[in-house]
């Protein structure tokens, strides 16, 4: 099936929560509108009308942007969708004025992010809620 990447789509909470439940085993629904309204960009991957992938680009209002929540439906993985989402997000981010694109990821994803152009950095993380 042909995958279409759409810039700043509004797939709605139902489609996003369905994708999150499938991709992340998320059990609780949430409202994505406050998050997406403050994003620099977001990209959706669609198989027909079905949302099968998504990435959000948050930002600091200046030159730094951050890849958040890149995900792909389990049935559509290993088809280059995550790479396509990231490539489109990178272009949008640059075109909208950011100079740096950051990402945090779990160790098993290091090869994916290195292949897509991210260089190693030192970073820190602090959990604020248990």
**Domain regions of the chain by residue span:** 3-115
Q: How confident is the model at residue 7 (pLDDT cuts 50, 70, 90)?
A: very high
Answer yes or no: pTM beyond 0.85: yes
- Closest residue by Cα to residue 15 from 41, 58, 44, 57: 44
pLDDT at 26: 73
Mean pLDDT for the stretch of residues 89-117: 92
- Distance (Å, whole) CA 73 – CA 20: 8
Q: What is the pLDDT of residue 122?
A: 82
- If we measure between CA atoms, which residue out of 54, 124, 128, 122 comes closest to residue 88? 54
| Mean predicted confidence (pLDDT) in 24-39 | 88
Kindly state the percentage of the chain with pLDDT values over 90: 75
Q: Looking at residue 106, what is its pLDDT? A: 86
Write down the pLDDT at residue 59: 94
Q: pLDDT at position 44, please? A: 97
- N-term to C-term CA, the chain: 41
- Residue 128 clears pLDDT 90, i.e. is over it: no
Q: Domain 3-115 - what CATH class?
A: alpha beta
């Amino acid at each position: 099936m042909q995958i279409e990447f759409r810039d700043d789509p509004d797939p709605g909470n139902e489609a996003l929560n369905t994708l999150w439940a499938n991709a992340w085993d998320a059990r609780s629904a949430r409202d994505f509108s406050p998050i997406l309204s403050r994003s620099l960009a977001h990209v959706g991957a669609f198989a027909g009308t079905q949302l099968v992938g998504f990435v959000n680009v948050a930002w600091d209002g200046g030159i730094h942007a951050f890849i958040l929540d890149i995900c792909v439906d389990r049935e559509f993985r290993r088809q280059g969708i995550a790479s396509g989402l990231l490539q489109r997000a990178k272009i949008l981010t640059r075109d909208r004025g950011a100079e740096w694109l950051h990402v945090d990821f779990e160790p098993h994803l290091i090869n994916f992010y290195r292949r897509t152009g991210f260089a190693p950095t030192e970073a820190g993380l602090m959990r604020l809620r248990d």
